[in-house]
Amino acid sequence: MKNSKTLLTLLAGTLIAGAAYGQVEVTITGSTAFRAITIDRAASLFDVQPPAGVTNDASTGLMTFNGTVSNAVPSLGATPVKIRLSFSGSAAGMIAVRNQTGVPTAETPGVNVNKTPDLALSDVFPGAATPPLPESAFNRSQLGVIPFVYVKNSALVGITNITREQAVLLMTASGAYVDELGNPVPAMPASYLGGVSTAPIYMVGRDSGSGTRITVEKDIGFVGTPTLWATNAAGQYVLTNGFSSGGIERGVIANRSDAIGYLGRADYNSISAFATAISYNGVAYSTANVQNGSYGLWGYEHIVNRAGGLSANQTLIRNALIARIKDPVFQNTNPLYTSSFESLSSMHVERGADGGTITSLDF
């Protein structure tokens, strides 16, 4: 009997030890805005730098890291950890997490496998996604602040500011064209925005799944379907549902003398030799103006997981990743962050929804 008890005790200890060292897997999907940051901060969690892993598509962030994270998460000790990264877009990522829909992840070189995502990055609150998602479906944390700017081709002389009302009107009134009945549709002239030209101005923007588009439309209070333009192979304007990336949009703004649109800061900086950022509601974009609330075109980057959907060890990884991304030193000094975003810890204002009222954090 005594030997049986001893054997059971040893067996129980072995099972506990095995559980403690069982591999922890976390799959991350969602928005591309923080893709480079998430890759960098996820990699930083591992004890060995750079961590072992597989990269099957660096351009989209399809990669997997393997190793231990005892420095970042001491309680996990020698437990092996695998973090899979597969970015898809804000709304698509949150929907995949909520519905437990598989996303492609890198398994071995050249081989991908579908995995159920545990975390998703999003440029918007769940309720602003298309379709809207209930806040109660997720545990959500804010990671950073994303500013946006209206940008014109520098040839549009005289345009230095756009009001909220002008921005709303621009969404549906730009670009001259003939409707399906053959009737010419008049377009907003550049002079309406203060330009010296009376020729039509053309609005370019992102597709309906873009967090950039959702945030800007919420910030200016636009509701409806915008009239957006692209250029065809012949360089002529054609109606479009919007661009899938800021890189494509910025190319049109840089190359067309009558184009205007909205961009993230990094996309604007890359074409600043050909384009100019304009003020919004009389306030120029600056870090200080975002932080004090006088400039209103900005939103948050969020990370979500399904409510009750993480194990205790997965939660440890999630919390460690959030801490690495939100670290004030990283957000205030690392060019990977400072080139595009505003430090969350330096904000003096907040808002409770995309386009929501800006309120003070100081009083």
Q: Where are the domains of the chain?
A: 20-144+300-352, 146-291
Would you say the pTM of this structure is higher than 0.85?
Answer: yes
φ/ψ bin of 43: left (φ > 0), alpha (ψ from -120 to 50), beta (otherwise): alpha
20-144+300-352 maps to CATH 3.30.1370.60: no
CB 125 within 8 A of CB 135: yes
Q: Are 136 and 307 in contact (CB under 8 A)?
A: yes
Q: How far is CA 129 from the centre of its chain?
A: 12
Tell how strand 138-153 and strand 275-280 pair up: antiparallel
Q: Which helix (H) or strand (E) holds 314?
A: helix 312-326
Domains 20-144+300-352 and 146-291 equal at CATH topology level: yes
Q: Looking at residue 3, what is its pLDDT? A: 52
Mind listing the pLDDT tens digit of every residue in the chain (363 residues)?
545 554 444 444 444 444 445 899 999 999 989 999 999 999 999 999 999 999 999 888 999 999 999 999 999 999 999 999 999 889 889 999 999 999 999 999 999 999 999 999 999 999 998 889 999 999 999 999 999 999 999 999 999 999 999 999 999 999 988 888 888 888 999 999 999 999 999 999 999 888 899 999 999 999 999 999 999 999 999 999 999 889 999 999 999 999 999 999 999 999 999 999 999 999 999 999 999 999 999 999 999 999 999 999 999 999 999 999 999 999 999 999 999 999 999 999 999 999 999 999 999
Kindly state which CATH superfamily the domain 146-291 is placed in.
Answer: Periplasmic binding protein-like II (3.40.190.10)
* Sign of the C-alpha dihedral computed for residues 160, 162, 166 and 171 taken in this order: positive
Question: Which token pair is 268?
Answer: 């604007």
Q: At what angle do helices 164-173 and 211-220 cross, to 10 degrees?
A: 130
- Minimal CA–CA distance to 250: which of 237, 238, 263, 241? 263
**pLDDT score recorded for residue 60:** 87
- Residue 355's pLDDT is 96
3-state helix, strand, coil in the chain (%, to 5): 35, 30, 40
pLDDT of 75? 98
DSSP 40-62: HHHHHTSSSSSPEEEEEETTTTE
